[in-house]
């Protein structure tokens, strides 16, 4: 799980390229991130699921590097569906609290790809709330002892800069 120095939110105020790159980097199954070719093929092949939208690997690349900035609403809907985020996130139309909620879900899903994190989370299921609170306190104490921030940084940046 890479951590960078980027602290800007990927939603409000970010470019479409930044929001797309954020999703490509963090919204994928365990293993390697999705490639432009894979996403283009999935969207183009899933005609019913993605509304008949066709997109090429090259066009996705241009969207991600900012050379193209005005894709069709249909393509944005298909990309939002593929990455399981509201289309407003890609449009940059969400309020800051809505963006924060989407990005928190992205962080959660990225963290849950780590088998050890998933094991810790699953073991806490069913425990009384006060025990879960105690576990949170213990984890915070370990983070403090290791000179880590009290809250883990988001993938690709540090939440404190939002």
Helix axis angle for 16-26 and 96-111, nearest 10°, is: 30
Q: For residues 131 and 17, what is the distance between their CA atoms, to the nearest angstrom?
A: 42
Residue 162: what pLDDT?
33
Q: Are 92 and 19 in contact (CB under 8 A)?
A: yes
Residue 5: what pLDDT?
35
**Residues contacting residue 139 through CB under 8 Å, at least 6 positions apart:** none
Per-residue pLDDT reduced to its tens digit, 9-46: 454 558 899 989 989 988 887 778 899 999 999 999 97
Residue 7: what pLDDT?
38
> Residue written as tokens 């929001």?
19
Residue 21: what pLDDT?
92
Maximum distance among all alpha carbons in the chain?
A: 53
Per-residue pLDDT reduced to its tens digit, 83-138: 989 999 888 888 889 988 888 888 887 777 777 887 888 888 999 999 999 998 99
The whole model's pTM is what? 0.67
Per-residue pLDDT reduced to its tens digit, 40-74: 999 999 778 898 999 999 999 999 999 999 999 99
Residue 6: pLDDT band with limits 50, 70, 90: very low
pLDDT higher than 60, residue 146 = yes
Tokens representing 32 are 């390697």
């Amino acid at each position: 799980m890479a951590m960078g120095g980027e602290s800007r939110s990927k939603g409000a105020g970010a470019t479409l390229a930044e929001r797309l790159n954020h999703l490509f980097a963090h919204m994928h199954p365990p293993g390697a991130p999705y490639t432009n070719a894979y996403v283009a093929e999935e969207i183009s092949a899933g005609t019913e699921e993605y509304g008949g939208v066709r997109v090429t690997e090259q066009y996705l690349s241009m969207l991600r590097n900012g050379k193209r900035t005005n894709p069709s609403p249909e393509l944005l809907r298909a990309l939002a569906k593929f990455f399981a985020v509201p289309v407003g996130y890609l449009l940059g139309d969400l309020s800051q609290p809505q963006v924060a909620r989407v990005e928190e879900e992205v962080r959660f899903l990225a963290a849950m790809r780590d088998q050890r994190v998933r094991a810790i989370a699953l073991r806490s299921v069913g425990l009384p709330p006060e025990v879960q609170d105690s576990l949170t306190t213990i984890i915070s104490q370990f983070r403090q002892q290791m000179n880590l921030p009290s809250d883990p940084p988001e993938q690709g940046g540090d939440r404190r800069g939002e």
